[in-house]
Amino acid sequence: MVAGGDDSRPGYGKMGYGCRHYRRRCMIRATCCNEVFHCRHCHNESTKDRHELCRQDVKTVICLVCDTEQPVAQVCSNCGVNMGEYFCKVCNFYDDDVGKGIYHCHECGICRVGGKENFFHCKKCGSCYSVLLLNKHSCVENSMKHHCPICYEYLFDSLKVTKVLKCGHTMHFDCLHEMIEHEQYTCPICSKTVIDLSKFWTMLDEEIEATIMPEDYRQRKVWVLCNDCNDTTETFFHIVGHKCIHCHSYNTRPIAPPVLPQ
pLDDT, tens digit (0-9, with 9 covering 90-100), for 106-161: 999 999 999 999 999 999 999 999 999 999 999 999 999 999 999 999 999 888 99
Specify whether domain 198-254 bears CATH 2.20.28.10: yes
pTM of the model: 0.78
Beta bridge partners of 233: 224
Q: Express each pLDDT in 177-221 by its tens digit.
A: 999 999 999 999 999 999 999 999 999 999 999 999 998 888 888
* Interatomic CA distance for residues 247 and 198, integer angstroms: 11
Give the bridge partners for 129, in sequence order.
Answer: 120
Report helix, strand or coil for 13: coil
pLDDT for 179 equals 96
The number of angstroms, rounded, from the C-alpha of 229 to the middle of its chain's C-alpha atoms is 25
Contact yes or no for 39/19 (Cβ under 8 A): yes
pLDDT digits (tens, 9 = 90+) for 48-105: 677 889 999 999 999 999 999 999 999 999 999 999 999 999 999 999 999 999 999 9
Whole-number pLDDT of residue 256: 76
**For residue 86, which of 53, 116, 45, 52 has the smallest C-alpha distance?**
116
Cα 139 to its chain centre, rounded Å, is 15
* Cα–Cα nearest to 140, from 120, 160, 126: 126
3-class state of residue 31 by DSSP: coil
Beta carbons of 221 and 208 less than 8 angstroms apart: no
Concatenated DSSP letters for 103-147?
EEETTTTEEESS-GGGEEEETTTTEEEEGGGTTSS---TTTTSSB
Task: Give the chain's end-to-end CA distance (angstroms, integer).
Answer: 86
The one-letter code for the residue type at 173 is F
pLDDT at residue 259 in the model? 59
Confidence band of 3 (pLDDT split at 50, 70, 90): very low
Rounded Cα distance, 65 and 79, in Å: 8
State the Cα–Cα distance between residues 213 and 237, nearest whole angstrom: 9
pLDDT, residue 159, reads 87
pLDDT band at 1 (very low <50, low <70, confident <90, very high): very low
Domain boundaries along the sequence of the chain: 3-100, 115-181, 198-254
pLDDT category at 5 given cuts 50, 70, 90 is very low
Which helix or strand (DSSP H or E) is residue 200 part of? helix 198-210
d(C-alpha 83, C-alpha 188), whole Å: 43
Report the residue count for the chain: 262
> pLDDT, tens digit, for every residue of 10-57?
889 999 999 999 999 999 999 988 999 999 999 988 876 778 899 999
d(CA 192, CA 229): 8
pLDDT of residue 7: 55
Calpha distance 60→57 (Å, rounded): 9
Q: Name which of 154, 195, 190, 198 is nearest 172 in CA terms.
A: 154
Which residue, among 198, 195, 196, 178, has the nearest Cα to 187 in the 3D structure? 195
